[in-house]
Amino acid sequence: MGLLITRDDFTEDEFARFSERIEEQLDVLGTLANLPGFGEGPATVGAELELFLVDPAGLPLSANREVLARTVDRRFTVELDRFNLEFNASPCPLAGRPFTALADELAGALVEITRAAREQGGRIVPIGILPTLRREDLTAAELTDVPRYRALGKRIRRLRGGPFHVRIHGEDPLALDTDDVAMEGAGTSFQVHLRVPPQSFSRYYNAAQIATIPALAASCNSPILIGHRLWDETRIALFRQVVDDRLDAPAAFHPPSRVSFGYGWARDGAAELFAESVRLHAPLLPVLGSEDPRQTLASGGVPGLAELRLHHGTVWRWNRAVYDPGSGGHFRIEYRALPAGPTVVDMLASAAFLLGATLGLAPDVDRLLPAYPFELARHAFHRAAQHGLDAVVPFPCDEAPSPRAVPVVTLCERLLPLARSGLVGAGVLESEADRFLDVFAARVRSGQNGARWQRAALAALRVRHSHEEALRRMLAQYEERAASGEPVHTWAPVEGGAQNKPMTDSPIRS
């Protein structure tokens, strides 16, 4: 976020000064957002992909820094746990063939990081939650040893004052307590960015919130955590609980969570969402910069607002507003709910639907909101994560004055033409939109996303194998199919007695 974090302990005076600084920068951001012409420019898209490192047995390989040392690709970086890596794709124009450009970049990067991992005796797996994770893989000893992550863990534990409680319902309900944030590393995501005009940010953001519900349901890829069969997208439930800095509170009082779908429809632009982060959540990393943002603004420059961006980056909304001082300054929406995997083409198909539905809904979203109470949208988001393509969610219908229960498959089908028109209207070539939306549509109609394939594969393998062995073999067959580059809806079912070896030297192709 623009400030180098070199230590993990801070004084109370530093926290106080940091709080004053982010309040000041919040005012500057409001002024900046209202300047005529600020942030205007062609729409762009970007992406971040988080990955797992695994060893020859399919277990997590704690060697992210060693793997990075074997690659010259500086777009890769470490993530929270030592078996996590992250790739940051270059932004590209939305007009033309943006998804093909991202697919080519991701595929090339995976070839390179696969080579580097192989030299360290490992493999790369894009998947929402690694099904072979064990409880002992998610302890403080696995945290990547950099000051940022140590400082985050220390401060969140101090604010909470007790263990984190993980309670997730499912076929095999999970209940455990943990003393460290390292469990967050169990989930990896595919995050997409969309640059949007500041003056209409609220419309795009609200549209993104709505579009995320069906996009997430169709893209679930995280049904198993520590051997427990839970939500289709268990990441959503897990992340909120393992970085929860709130004290255990009486049932009548529910403070806001740092991880959330939000607290209401956006009304006053991106600055409103930054204000919520500042006013609702205590600072975690009070690193102070040297910029005087008012002076920068007065001299005609674009202030970096590094402290505000750093703080906002420790409030993890599933769709987050981003301020970037680059390219003359602009705002983006960061879509954080989609999981990693199974293949590059699957991830880009989900992104095409998500961005297209956002663009298609935005012009008319203000008419939709009065018929869609925010609490119902938040409920729909969590039902989508819990039940995936089987979810039934509340959604406004033209034929009814109030929201009705709609199968999420029906909602996807209803929004696909709107997603196509949104992409094409923004300059995406028709052939490009069709290529990726057709993959998304076929997945929805087949009823098979990554989560559903994993569940069925595990059930088939458990007929002849122990649960642990079935998980290992299921991951091996997941890797083999993903390495083919074929989208998940085309994957053949697993036979219980089969044992296929993963294709250890093939990246996940597009």
Please give the pLDDT value at position 500. 41
C-alpha to C-alpha distance for 80 and 226, rounded to whole angstroms = 18
- Taking CA 232 as the corner, what is the angle to CA 229 and CA 237, rounded to the nearest 5 degrees? 85
Residue type, 143: L
Helices (H), 220-291: 234-242, 270-280
Taken in order 479, 480, 486, 491, the sign of the CA dihedral is negative
- Total Cβ atoms within 10 A of residue 353: 30
C-alpha to C-alpha distances, 249 to 152, 156, 255, 282, nearest whole angstrom: 22, 16, 8, 17
The separation between CA 346 and the C-alpha centre of its own chain, rounded to angstroms, equals 15
Please give the pLDDT value at position 412. 98
- Total Cβ atoms within 10 A of residue 401: 8
pLDDT in tens, the chain (510 residues): 457 788 889 999 999 999 999 999 999 999 999 999 999 999 999 999 999 999 999 999 999 999 999 999 999 999 999 999 999 999 999 999 999 999 999 999 999 999 999 999 999 999 999 999 999 999 999 999 999 999 999 999 999 888 999 999 999 999 999 988 999 999 999 999 999 999 999 999 999 999 999 999 999 999 999 999 999 999 999 999 999 888 766 655 667 899 999 999 999 999 999 999 999 999 999 999 999 999 999 999 999 999 999 999 999 999 999 999 998 999 999 999 999 999 999 999 999 999 999 999 999 999 999 999 999 999 999 999 999 999 999 999 876 668 999 999 999 999 999 999 999 999 999 999 999 999 999 999 999 999 999 999 999 999 999 999 999 999 999 999 999 999 999 999 998 644 444 434 444 444
C-alpha to C-alpha distance for 490 and 152, rounded to whole angstroms = 41
Please give the pLDDT value at position 499. 42
pTM value is 0.95
Please give the pLDDT value at position 162. 87
C-alpha to C-alpha distance for 53 and 73, rounded to whole angstroms = 17
Of 66, 54, 217, nearest in space to 127 by CA: 54
Question: CB-based burial of residue 20 (10 Å sphere; 0-12 exposed, 13-18 middle, 19+ buried)?
Answer: exposed
Helices (H), 169-292: 201-219, 234-242, 270-280
Of 338, 74, 289, 378, nearest in space to 188 by CA: 338
C-alpha to C-alpha distance for 458 and 435, rounded to whole angstroms = 31
Per-residue burial over 225-241, b = 16 or more CB atoms within 10 Å of its CB, e = otherwise? bbbbbbbbbbbbbbbbb
